Structure 1
Amino acid sequence: MGQARRGSGVSALYKEPVSPSGRLFLLQDWDLEILCFLSFQKPVDVAALKLAVSSSVVICPRLRSVLVAKRRGRLAWEELPEIDVDAHVVADDEEEDEKDDGKEDEVYVNEYVVALASSGPMTRDAPLWRVHVLPRRRRSVVLRFHHALGDCVSLLALLLAGCDPANELLSLSGDGQTGRKRMTSIVDGARRRVASVGRTMKAVCRTFPYAVKYLTHTMSRKENTTLSIGGVVDNPFPTKLSSLALCLEDMKIVKNVLNATINDVFVGVVSFGLSKYLNLEASKETQKDVAISGIVAVNLRREGSKDLFGSIRRGEDIKWGNRVGYFLLPISLQGENNNPLSYVKKARSMLNRKKTSYEAHFSYLSNALAGNYFDQKALETLNNNFRSNSNLFLSNIVGPSHPIAFANNLVTRIGVTLSMLPGAIDVHMISYNGKAFLQILVAEEVIPDPEHLCLCIQEGLQEMKIKAMNAKVIPA
């Protein structure tokens, strides 16, 4: 059971160059990892977990590959004929705990994740992933993947493909694309082509100023831009992680009233929560000087997690790696007329303009070109500029809409975060089974009480919901 071998539907051993994005994530001063944790209904059966992990690993050649140096020091993925799954599944001795209430302590899980993030990089003589079974009660598992292996969307699809096939409820919410309507006439076709050309021209015109701002954000380093309470923090390292569960139905109420998206509500409620937190924690002088430079991660894959999940299950070859771009998003901490919904309206307005441009594609392309043509020192400079000029990082991942089971054990909670990111505050949201689970990673010097920030965000959503239920529905 300890050896993962290739299945009949998997291609032969391969060698593939590391993508430009992968090389950026492998930089020594970044070495970015994805940390995803799952909480379960029952204690984890380690033997069943290893069998489920082994079945998942067989599906993806990238997870059976190691980094090797090629000509001119270029890195490539080289597939191993087999791997030892036992060496990748870390199950420490179980700890004694007198108070076993059947739940894993969230604070304990968060501290474990932060400890993994700061434990140093994984050795590169083996595939860059590990599965850690938390010793206390063994009701939680942390999946540790290097970001060079792929983005969160592809890794989520791989996780779902490893779930129990008998689970007929397995599905993803809000991740499908509706098919295009058939052309009814030549006139309709001509009108659509003209409209398409118009949208393209509009997107190009909007992209130019955004591209200039992105290059400025990356190429030059601004002084004293980091959000700080009580002083400026240079290159903050996130040392605290807090969790928050929001009701997805409450977010949908706000979304429907404002004709917005869940992502708009997510950005708006985080902005409102930060505003409430700073009003309570910061001095009046600090409030005047606070300016939030936000970054929003954008999935550039044409197929979503649901499509990738189906392709993996069918044994089809899919393109692994990272397909992530970014929006630079100034975050407003000032509402209008004490109306909490104004934060969502501002987020909706800004994101709509961003989505009708090619800013995310430009950021992806510029990073790819930098990874191909710049030396390591230049890449490190660009990376440091990008991080020092950013205050807040936001990402939103669409997860399963129904309960899932892994290794014959029902998953009760999903969380995802990264080992290090630009900004002093990183907020990652993943939806699952009617809940929106937020992981808030902060520099302790900047946000000394992240639990209080979680409470402000939670209260902010409730205020938005009450305001939205009392408002008239805006027609689409």
Structure 2
Amino acid sequence: MDAATLRKRPLSVKTAAGREGRTAPEAELGEPVSPSARLVEDFYIIVLMGASTPLNLPALRAGIEAQLARYPHFRSIQVTDKDGNLRWAPTTVNVDNHLIRPTLDPAAVAANPDKAVEDYVASLSTLPMDRSQPLWEFHLFDFPTSEATSTAAIRVHHSLGDGMSLLTLLMACTRSAADPTRLPAMPPLPSRTGAIYQRPRPSAGVLAIVAWVWSFVVLAWHTVVDVVGFFATILFLKDPHTLFKRVNHAETQRKRIVHRRLSLDDVKFVKNAMKCTVNDVLIGVTYAALSRYHFRKSGGETDTGKEIRVRSMLLVNLRPTTSLHACVDMIKSGKESHVKWGNELGFIILPFFIGMHSDPLDYVRKGKKVVDRKKSSLEVVFTHVAAEVIFKVFGLKAASAIFHRMISHTTISFANMTGPVEQVEFCGHPIVFIAPSGYGPPEALTVNYQSYVNTIMINLALDEGHFPDYDELLDDFVESLEHIKNAASRLGMHHRKA
């Protein structure tokens, strides 16, 4: 089949009659759809990827068929068994049904190609996916934008996998641009490889053993506090109203999905100066950006030290830190069937502080303090187990209602992912940027960071009517990092003088 016969459409998607798929004979059934996947059944992931070359449709089709379409959830649909339970069932994949070339207004593309792509991707947030086939699509734009020669918007239903498993899949389906015969270089493992509360060696001394015992006391106390906060959020605890809080909780609001580049070198410079982590810096940048936007738009008090406390739902991967490397190694050796795909998620309720600080580094200090506190808690494990128990005891409808109620009582969703550390090729296309985001959570704003080579992409998914000036919010992220980096530079100069 040549490129001309690929699916072309304006802004429409074929929908299946049943929301939860068709029924199927027992022989066709695969593994059950996990409780975590059922809870995110209204959530979708969208990844924008830009290439430095024009679109090569035959190569793209062949590459997807040989690589992506062989993975279990990408060649399965969700079906209902005789007991009414949702399960995965293998199906025949016609790759051409998943490659979509939108019909866009030529005048709009000529006037502003970036806006034409952005408008189309926003339209996807109001359109369902065809549940009679595997829940993934490639929307292809074969014209240059300010960032790339060609662009693909990949839409994937969240039930196919969480961020960690989909990142693993991306790694497995790309090749190094420097050497297309090998997989791209992996992100480095974290410096700590042992358990957080690993027992000290007998030779470590009495004080080390006392500190180890005390860490369990702190762990237990923090976990109890977080669990109480978890139930309070479900029952009554709501964030205060701010410019970031959705007023109308209708979940059909169109999402505008936008991004902006940040320098990974700048982030690492701040990390080294502050002796913290990249994640600490990014949370600090988020605090600063939201604060700049809030006080500029609201005209509210900007007294130093006065803060508004809101919260974010932070989805956390429960796989061990070494699993990405292990999974890619298995795929490399042809054992991809042994890889555990799907969703292995818990979540934490992460405080965010909107306030003005005379020292920009205070945002990073605040972020580090919050993250360090959350590391000393089993909140993420508890929420994962609680979600599965609630699902099994009360059923999907009750579990979904509780889950959405909890999210609607917070203000934003937040995530941070580490991507390839060298330039990659996807089906022969050298990739110049990767920008993942998504829609579905009943919140007005989702913040997602994704690193790729020497950049970090800040990706925002916003209620279109709520943030008409989203470009200003993106500028606030860029300017906040610049202010924090400049302050870190002055800190380094001060230390050298001392």
TM superposition score normalised by structure 2: 0.82
Is residue 485 of structure 2 the alignment partner of residue 453 of structure 1? Answer: no
Is residue 329 of structure 2 the alignment partner of residue 310 of structure 1? Answer: yes
Measure, in 1, the Cα distance between the counterparts of 2:120 and 2:328. Answer: 29
1:66-92 Cα shifts (integer Å, max 9, x gaps): 111124311011123x32111122234
Alignment partner for residue 48 of structure 2, among 37, 51, 54? 37
- Alpha-carbon deviation of 1:164? 3.0
Comparing 17-26 and 122-131, the one that deviates more: 122-131
Alignment partner for residue 312 of structure 2, among 294, 300, 304? 294
- Alpha-carbon deviation of 1:331? 1.2
Change (3 A) 1:90 1:234: closer
Unmatched runs of 5 consecutive residues or more in structure 2: 3-26
Is residue 350 of structure 2 the alignment partner of residue 329 of structure 1? Answer: yes
Change (3 A) 1:313 1:233: same
Alignment partner for residue 217 of structure 1, among 233, 237, 251? 233
Measure, in 2, the Cα distance between the counterparts of 1:187 and 1:199. Answer: 19
| Corresponding residue of 2:32 | 17
Is residue 277 of structure 2 the alignment partner of residue 270 of structure 1? Answer: no
Query: Secondary structure, in 3 states, of the residue corresponding to 1:260?
Result: coil
Alignment partner for residue 466 of structure 1, among 478, 481, 486? 486
- Alpha-carbon deviation of 1:48? 0.6
The 8 Å contact of residues 175 and 398 in structure 1, kept in 2 or not, is answered as no
Measure, in 2, the Cα distance between the counterparts of 1:259 and 1:57. Answer: 39
1:131-155 Cα shifts (integer Å, max 9, x gaps): 1212545701111111111101111
Is residue 414 of structure 2 the alignment partner of residue 394 of structure 1? Answer: yes
Measure, in 2, the Cα distance between the counterparts of 1:193 and 1:314. Answer: 42
Amino acid at match of 2:174: C
Measure, in 2, the Cα distance between the counterparts of 1:383 and 1:125. Answer: 27
The 8 Å contact of residues 227 and 424 in structure 1, kept in 2 or not, is answered as no
User: What percentage of aligned pairs have identical amino acids?
Assistant: 27
The 8 Å contact of residues 245 and 444 in structure 2, kept in 1 or not, is answered as no
- Alpha-carbon deviation of 1:248? 0.5
The 8 Å contact of residues 289 and 477 in structure 2, kept in 1 or not, is answered as yes
Unmatched runs of 5 consecutive residues or more in structure 1: 3-11
Measure, in 2, the Cα distance between the counterparts of 1:253 and 1:399. Answer: 19
Amino acid at match of 1:354: K
| Corresponding residue of 2:388 | 368
| Corresponding residue of 2:141 | 134
Query: Secondary structure, in 3 states, of the residue corresponding to 1:428?
Result: strand
The 8 Å contact of residues 221 and 385 in structure 1, kept in 2 or not, is answered as no
- Alpha-carbon deviation of 1:98? 10
Measure, in 1, the Cα distance between the counterparts of 2:90 and 2:109. Answer: 45
Amino acid at match of 1:24: L
Alignment partner for residue 417 of structure 1, among 437, 451, 455? 437
Measure, in 1, the Cα distance between the counterparts of 2:51 and 2:136. Answer: 21
| Corresponding residue of 1:6 | none
| Corresponding residue of 2:99 | 89
1:256-314 Cα shifts (integer Å, max 9, x gaps): 11111111111111110111112221132799995422222222111343332222222
| Corresponding residue of 1:9 | none
1:385-443 Cα shifts (integer Å, max 9, x gaps): 12321111110000001100011111001011112224221111100010001111112
1:44-68 Cα shifts (integer Å, max 9, x gaps): 1111111111122354112111111
Measure, in 1, the Cα distance between the counterparts of 2:72 and 2:64. Answer: 14
Measure, in 1, the Cα distance between the counterparts of 2:212 and 2:169. Answer: 35
The 8 Å contact of residues 227 and 291 in structure 1, kept in 2 or not, is answered as no
| Corresponding residue of 1:7 | none
Amino acid at match of 1:260: C
Comparing 189-198 and 171-180, the one that deviates more: 189-198
The 8 Å contact of residues 123 and 254 in structure 2, kept in 1 or not, is answered as no
How well do the aligned residues superpose, as a CA RMSD in angstroms? 3.4
Measure, in 1, the Cα distance between the counterparts of 2:61 and 2:154. Answer: 13
1:8-62 Cα shifts (integer Å, max 9, x gaps): xxxx987101100111122xxxx11111111000111111111111122354112
Amino acid at match of 1:210: D
Comparing 285-294 and 167-176, the one that deviates more: 285-294
Alignment partner for residue 433 of structure 1, among 453, 468, 473? 453
Alignment partner for residue 113 of structure 1, among 115, 121, 141? 121
Change (3 A) 1:77 1:389: same
Change (3 A) 1:125 1:169: closer
The 8 Å contact of residues 219 and 382 in structure 1, kept in 2 or not, is answered as no
User: How many residues are matched?
Assistant: 456
| Corresponding residue of 1:377 | 397
Amino acid at match of 1:115: S
Measure, in 1, the Cα distance between the counterparts of 2:299 and 2:96. Answer: 53
Amino acid at match of 1:410: P
| Corresponding residue of 2:424 | 404
- Alpha-carbon deviation of 1:334? 1.6
Measure, in 1, the Cα distance between the counterparts of 2:419 and 2:29. Answer: 30
The 8 Å contact of residues 66 and 126 in structure 1, kept in 2 or not, is answered as yes
Is residue 271 of structure 2 the alignment partner of residue 252 of structure 1? Answer: no
- Alpha-carbon deviation of 1:178? 5.9
Change (3 A) 1:372 1:226: farther
Measure, in 2, the Cα distance between the counterparts of 1:413 and 1:105. Answer: 16
Measure, in 2, the Cα distance between the counterparts of 1:448 and 1:91. Answer: 28
Amino acid at match of 1:456: D
Change (3 A) 1:339 1:100: same
